[in-house]
Structure 1
Amino acid sequence: MLPHKKILSIPRYFNRAHSLAIRLSLAFALAIGLVVQPQLAIAEKTETTQKLKSAPKSTATKASTAPQKPKAQKTKAKTASPAKPQPKPQTLEIKKTDRPSIRPVIPAALLGLSLVSGVTVAASQSNTITVAQTGQHDGDDRLIQLREAFLRNDQVEFQRIFSQSDQAPLKEHPLYPYVQHWTLRLKLSQRPIAEANADALQREVLRFLARHDGESLGEQLRKTYIEWLADRESWAQLQLEYPKLIFQDEAPLQCLFHFARLKLASGEQETLMLIASQSKQLLFAPRPLGAACGRLFSELKQQGQIDQSALQHRLRLALETNQAAAIRWAASHLGLPSSEVERALDQPEKALRSSNPAIGQIAWTRFARQDSIEAYRRWRQNEQKSWPVSVRSFITAQIASMSMLRMQAQAIEVTRDALRESQAMGASAIEQGVLGSDESLAIMARSSLRAQDWDSLQQIIAWMSPRGQADPTWQYWRARAYRQAGDEQAAQTLFKELAGQFHFYGQLSLEELGLSIELPPRAAAPTKDELRAVAALAGVQRAFKLYQLGLRAEAHREWWVSTKTMSDRELLAAAELACRRLVLDRCVNTADRTKLEHDFHLRFIMPFREDLEASANRVGLDSAWAYGLIRQESRFLLDAKSSVGAQGLMQIMPTTGRWIAKKLGHGDFKTEDLHDMKTNIRFGTFYLRSVFDDLDGSQAMASAAYNAGPNRPRAWRASLPGPIEGAIFAEIIPFTETRDYVKKVLSNAVYYAAIQKQGSQSLKKRLGEITPKAAGNSLLP
């Protein structure tokens, strides 16, 4: 398995090919209102009956979570005839345990799912929840078709579908505001537009924004509206609209806002300087500029607000991140000959001896990406002594970074060279960022860790920005460096600061302080009023309906906007509701965001427990580790699918699935089998045990192998200069995703083991020690 960003997709409804158990579980969940209902009412009753009806059957094809032209979906639900009365809300009784708990009863035989570990549910209890039954709506199919036309930016088809739709059920649909939203965004995308029509459209947009201010619908429309205003050069209105955005972290929109301010500044020098200062934060961010930001920075340069030093800084950032377009932009504004720039980009080896330091900087950095060993050999022989120290230091640092990313032995030597060169500049070297951004410095810091050169590590962390130094990663390793240097007081200060945080470095810091890793006190369960208040939010109701339809991109936005400013109590209520509707990823992610009141039984849910523990026990695998891996792989989504094709709960690649099926004697294997809960867990635990054995019983190595494939960790281990602790191995993994993955999987495992009451927990013990060993070739896929 190659490292991959988890872009998960969930079908609108489970496929017929899925196991009977899964289809029955969904049917049962739909019938009792766990998934589909947007409202929750809570009643005080002591005795009720449950009259559960089968959910309508449906078929569907898989749709991506990203808005990528999903195929049209036809879903017909079996509904009662008009003459029949509407079904009454279903009432579920939930037993009080050691804490007030209101969770629905789900027969284990059907669902195989104990949502929250340690919670007992029974059929006759005192806390009662009345769940409003909404099911499918007549307008579901039309709404999905309208969405598809919107995503294709096909206004003609959108209007055709809308005009041919039965208007009554569509306008009564709980997601009808989305139809209005899509209509307006399609209108805003049309060019050109007559002035009279533009005025009418603008009034219509503003009315919609007023109705949905503070909601996801309003947020998405406002972004499109801001772009429309920029195209029309309506700078005053744009300046009014941008501050109303809930999220103001998108660089293109930030640049449009600053450009509008620039146009309205009327040449006032003080205002120009303020705009330039704020804009430079974007200029110095290691990411692509984009057209909007390019126009802003070109205008600022023309007005004398961006000097050569700032352009040099931008060029270095573009070189670090290998952004050819940004390199060309900075080079052109620095006045570099375009032909020489192109030669340095496309044929760097031929431009290494350029007399122009800026051209040489481009050539050497690009060449280091091609062959860092040869680049270092030539750089030491042909180093341009006449070039500025800032240029020489940057080139050396880039060769060091490329060497470390390839886990080459020379990495620490080049890192030390870069530190020595930059010291000649003193404090100005840090101000100018001659060793690169925090990202490059982090790579060099990992080179020092790999060599266990604690002095170099301290120097590099000191070069980072205040934000970089405050990252828990570098707080922890700085504390370790202080301890190695004998400064125990400084080390203890940082360890204590981290020890109260619930993550990999917080757990390691507890152990450094000689403290045990324990679960925090469990917050009181959400009250009926707290649950009712969250369930009544329009955004939450829309989110659950969107999840029901499989429109996860829109659902995620609704959920995030609705929960963004929630208190801990509200977050716990939202997480509880998500868990009970089987939107398990939102249950986990929402519970994960509390600051002071925590429920780790929601953060670390344990569904499918009977099946998972049986499969883990069958192969002698730690079930806490398996749970930790699933939490990171899929957040317990049965039909999760990654961008590279990994499938199901434990994200198994189809080729790996075929290999496992052969080993286990699972005949007639099909890729869709990986979406069967029992099969996926059985296959995943078998494969995890296989890589564990293949890598000498190291959970750190095996976790890395599960994500990046079994041969890469072997190569990383073989490159080590000597034995290292598992925490260092996890830190120096060259793939960002795999590095983050290993830390989170093993940190999760510690908390799962604590929930399972497996005794005293040690993350360091799980990480173990990694000793160099010849790589060889794994026989595993």
Structure 2
Amino acid sequence: MAAHAADIDSQREGYAAALAALRAGDDARYRENLVRLDGYVLRGYVEYEFLKDRIERTDAKIIRDFIATNTHTPLPDQLRQRWLQSAAARGDWATFMREYADVPGDTSLACIYLEQRLRADDRSAAVLQHVEQIWKSGQRQPSTCNAVFAQWRRAGFLSTDKVWERIGLAMDARELSLARDLAEYLPPTERVWVERWLAMHRDPARALTTIDHPIETPVARMVVRYGVVRLAYRDSDEAMRRWQELKRKHEFFGEDENYVLHFIGILAAQKRSPSALKWLSAVSAESDDLSLKLWRVYAALWAGELDTARRFIAALPDGERDSTRWRYWSARIAERRGEEAAAKPIYTSLARERDYYGFLAADRIGADYAMQHVSVDATPEEIAKLETRSDILAARELYTLGEIVDARRQWQWAVRNLGDRELQVAAVIARQWGWHDRAIQAVVKSGHPDDLELRFPVIYRDVIEANATKYDIDSGWIYGVVRQESAFVVDARSDAGALGLMQLLPSTGRAGLRQLRLRTRVEDALLSVEQNVQLGVNYLKQVLNRYNGNQVLATAAYNAGPNRVSGWIPDATIDADVWIETIPYNETRGYVKNVLAFAAVYEYRLGKKPTRLTTRMPAVAPRAADGAS
């Protein structure tokens, strides 16, 4: 064991020295240290750093050998991508076509490859389907795709219908400049409709009022109904009034009526309009239109139309209708209608579930929460078999060296094709290393939801409980927010720029630092466990105070922002479960449910009796009493 420790220490020293030599541009010292890395699981990572910037002067055999000998890492794909980019830049098409393999996410290389295939008169179904797949995007594709689309068009495969389809995708994605550019692919007589469509987007009220041309084609009707729905984002009632006027002046069809009622109805439901239920009820629902069917239920629940809600729940697809969510609401509706005998068996069955609806059902009948912890028991043989795989060893070594980003990427590569049982063992291994966020990810992916120690680790307890005491907030709720926000990824970064365990935006972090008089760079603070939790709990307390201690509203505000949540406050008091179920944003709706359920689980994990969800969920009072300024 001592000899092995000495070997690994020497290899780690050689690894660090080789990387330092590369950064210093000292190739000779790099090669001296590379010799020390024979048999070291991260040798490929060092070689990659050497090869990636020397591809043009590296023999193809060396690159192929690297790709062949490092398949336990994601590095071959990365090096191949650079190799192909280099070959294309040099016009070395023989190498490019010989070595090409699809690089996930690199549309530019795919288009270069397809252009070469089309230049060689390859009109196979696979090539044409691949081109069409790239074409069907509402986003602007890399410039390398322009030549492919031009050849595809000259060969007669780009129809006007396909052009309009992509223009529609671009408009839906708010890629207005792309939509305008795509007009060049249309016949000259049809291009004016793109400008009219853009005018509908910019100012729908004005564009709908100044229509001075026939509405006789499918494209014309599509542009008009787009404008009507666009107007509904501002004012659904005005949009519907305009639609009725337009129908009196122009001929539309059932599909147009359905489209308008569908989207205006959903927008109206999101704004809690009294007209939403009427409009949604009038739509002829397609069998696969789950969004419409769900919003019908939400609108009926918000309006208190219990019979209508029950009817719409019954119309949901079997798998959806039988979920814990709609079983709970079937029981709630029965209970509110005085049908306790029908409600109680459903509640009793649901109370065996460990989720938001199971906990609410338990509250309705006074039952204890069913936590049902069942640990993953991995044998020493299973652990040893997986832990000694080269891909897992590489992830562990990177994690040990503190190279967390590469470690996480390597781990994802290692577990990407594991079966459920192997994922469960991988979760146990990650926990043994202290890598709790990877343990959570692996066990959740494995389909084993019952190991609460893996799914809900009690870490950073001193920090969380100290802030819970300081701000008079229960630690279970804080843990619930952390678990939902980052799943304990300390350096988590969202697309919106939120950072750290409690996913705070830099602007929120700066305000908190000023308030707490902490002299720290905001990014450093947000990536620090101690300061991120302090700033996060401080902000959680602010939104809790804003909403008079209502955890439901505070939780929603932590996710969606206080201004939005204040706009969702009802005109009359409403039960909290109805308010949560009808939150306009899907993300926030799921977020609030998860945080509340996770809070109960964490109280159990902390050795406490879980606070009833109904205690955390007081009725939501009208705007005048919401505490917002």
TM-score range, shorter chain: 0.7 to 0.9
1:235–1:264: 8 Å Cα contact kept in structure 2?
no
1:169 aligned partner: 33
Tell me the amino acid that sits aligned with residue 340 of structure 1: W
Cα separation, 2, equivalents of 1:281 and 1:646: 33
Are residues 570 and 385 of structure 1, via their aligned partners in 2, closer, same or farther at CA, if it must alter by over 3 Å? Answer: same
Cα separation, 2, equivalents of 1:404 and 1:674: 37
Cα deviation 1:104-155 (Å, max 9, x = unaligned): xxxxxxxxxxxxxxxxxxxxxxxxxxx9767953443764896xxxxxxxxx
1:209 to 55, 61, 67: 67
1:479–1:491: 8 Å Cα contact kept in structure 2?
no
What are the ranges of 5 or more consecutive residues in structure 2 without an aligned counterpart? Answer: none
Shift of 1:517: 3.8
1:340 aligned partner: 193
Cα deviation 1:499-547 (Å, max 9, x = unaligned): 9986546666777899754233432543333333333222223323444
1:360 aligned partner: 224
Cα separation, 1, equivalents of 2:627 and 2:402: 41
1:122 aligned partner: none
Shift of 1:621: 2.2
2:598 to 723, 742, 748: 748
Shift of 1:341: 0.9
1:571 aligned partner: 423
Greater RCO, CA 8 A, separation 6+ = 1
Cα deviation 1:582-617 (Å, max 9, x = unaligned): 433223222322324842112111112234224324
2:279 aligned partner: 417
Cα separation, 2, equivalents of 1:229 and 1:497: 63
Cα separation, 1, equivalents of 2:626 and 2:431: 45
What are the ranges of 5 or more consecutive residues in structure 1 without an aligned counterpart? Answer: 1-40, 42-84, 90-130, 147-157, 191-196, 424-428
1:769 aligned partner: 619
1:650 aligned partner: 502
2:13 to 113, 127, 137: 137
Cα separation, 2, equivalents of 1:366 and 1:623: 44
2:490–2:529: 8 Å Cα contact kept in structure 1?
yes
Are residues 462 and 528 of structure 1, via their aligned partners in 2, closer, same or farther at CA, if it must alter by over 3 Å? Answer: same
Cα deviation 1:33-64 (Å, max 9, x = unaligned): xxxxxxxx9xxxxxxxxxxxxxxxxxxxxxxx
The alignment status of 1:712 with 2:564, answered yes or no, reads yes
Cα separation, 2, equivalents of 1:506 and 1:233: 60
Cα separation, 2, equivalents of 1:596 and 1:626: 25
1:629 to 460, 481, 487: 481
1:482–1:488: 8 Å Cα contact kept in structure 2?
no
1:703 aligned partner: 555
Are residues 234 and 344 of structure 1, via their aligned partners in 2, closer, same or farther at CA, if it must alter by over 3 Å? Answer: farther
Shift of 1:348: 4.2
Tell me the amino acid that sits aligned with residue 412 of structure 1: A
The alignment status of 1:430 with 2:286, answered yes or no, reads yes
Shift of 1:629: 1.0
1:345–1:362: 8 Å Cα contact kept in structure 2?
no
The alignment status of 1:178 with 2:45, answered yes or no, reads yes
Tell me the amino acid that sits aligned with residue 566 of structure 1: L
Shift of 1:257: 9.4
Cα separation, 1, equivalents of 2:546 and 2:507: 18
* 2:592 match: secondary structure: helix
Tell me the amino acid that sits aligned with residue 606 of structure 2: Q
Are residues 747 and 564 of structure 1, via their aligned partners in 2, closer, same or farther at CA, if it must alter by over 3 Å? Answer: farther
Cα separation, 2, equivalents of 1:264 and 1:482: 62
Cα separation, 2, equivalents of 1:493 and 1:220: 56
Tell me the amino acid that sits aligned with residue 603 of structure 1: R
Larger mean CA deviation between 365-374 and 226-235 belongs to 226-235
1:44 aligned partner: none
Cα separation, 1, equivalents of 2:346 and 2:53: 52
Cα separation, 2, equivalents of 1:142 and 1:235: 30
1:38 aligned partner: none
* 1:430 match: secondary structure: coil
1:758 aligned partner: 608
Identity of aligned residues (%): 25
Cα deviation 1:303-361 (Å, max 9, x = unaligned): 88887777766655554443436645876667573343134214443543253223324
Cα separation, 2, equivalents of 1:519 and 1:589: 20
Larger mean CA deviation between 362-371 and 577-586 belongs to 362-371
Question: Could you tell me the TM-score, scaled by structure 2's length?
Answer: 0.74
Cα separation, 1, equivalents of 2:405 and 2:4: 31
Are residues 757 and 548 of structure 1, via their aligned partners in 2, closer, same or farther at CA, if it must alter by over 3 Å? Answer: closer
Cα separation, 1, equivalents of 2:117 and 2:593: 43
**1:379-398 matched pairs, under 5 angstroms:** 379-383=243-247, 385-398=250-263
Tell me the amino acid that sits aligned with residue 197 of structure 2: A
1:613 aligned partner: 465
Tell me the amino acid that sits aligned with residue 286 of structure 2: I
1:318–1:326: 8 Å Cα contact kept in structure 2?
yes
1:375 aligned partner: 239
* 2:372 match: secondary structure: coil
Cα deviation 1:243-265 (Å, max 9, x = unaligned): xx8xx798889999999999999
1:288 to 121, 129, 139: 139
Shift of 1:371: 5.5
1:599 aligned partner: 451
* 1:382 match: secondary structure: helix
Cα separation, 2, equivalents of 1:215 and 1:261: 30
2:386–2:392: 8 Å Cα contact kept in structure 1?
yes
**1:14-29 matched pairs, under 5 angstroms:** none
Cα separation, 2, equivalents of 1:327 and 1:217: 37
Are residues 446 and 238 of structure 1, via their aligned partners in 2, closer, same or farther at CA, if it must alter by over 3 Å? Answer: farther
1:714–1:775: 8 Å Cα contact kept in structure 2?
no
**1:216-235 matched pairs, under 5 angstroms:** 216-221=74-79
The alignment status of 1:542 with 2:394, answered yes or no, reads yes
Shift of 1:396: 3.9
Cα separation, 1, equivalents of 2:146 and 2:581: 35
2:478–2:537: 8 Å Cα contact kept in structure 1?
yes
Cα deviation 1:168-216 (Å, max 9, x = unaligned): 324627434235446666677x8xxxxxx99x64x55544333334642
Tell me the amino acid that sits aligned with residue 359 of structure 1: V
Question: Could you tell me the TM-score, scaled by structure 1's length?
Answer: 0.61
Are residues 679 and 357 of structure 1, via their aligned partners in 2, closer, same or farther at CA, if it must alter by over 3 Å? Answer: closer
1:283–1:289: 8 Å Cα contact kept in structure 2?
no
**1:102-501 matched pairs, under 5 angstroms:** 137-140=13-16, 143=19, 161=25, 163=27, 165-170=29-34, 172=37, 174-181=41-48, 201=60, 204-213=62-71, 215-221=73-79, 241-242=101-102, 288=139, 290=141, 317-324=169-176, 327=179, 335=187, 337-346=190-199, 347-349=202-204, 350-352=206-208, 353=211, 354=213, 355=215, 356-369=220-233, 372=236, 374-383=238-247, 385-405=250-270, 407=271, 409=273, 412=276, 416-417=278-279, 420=282, 422-423=283-284, 430=286, 446-452=298-304, 475-476=323-324, 478-479=326-327, 484=333
Cα separation, 1, equivalents of 2:341 and 2:353: 20
Tell me the amino acid that sits aligned with residue 390 of structure 2: A
Tell me the amino acid that sits aligned with residue 209 of structure 1: I
Q: Over aligned residues, Cα RMSD in angstroms?
A: 5.4
Cα separation, 2, equivalents of 1:604 and 1:261: 51
Equivalent pairs counted in the alignment come to 605
Are residues 180 and 711 of structure 1, via their aligned partners in 2, closer, same or farther at CA, if it must alter by over 3 Å? Answer: same
1:103 aligned partner: none
Shift of 1:734: 3.5
Cα separation, 2, equivalents of 1:558 and 1:317: 35
Tell me the amino acid that sits aligned with residue 769 of structure 1: A
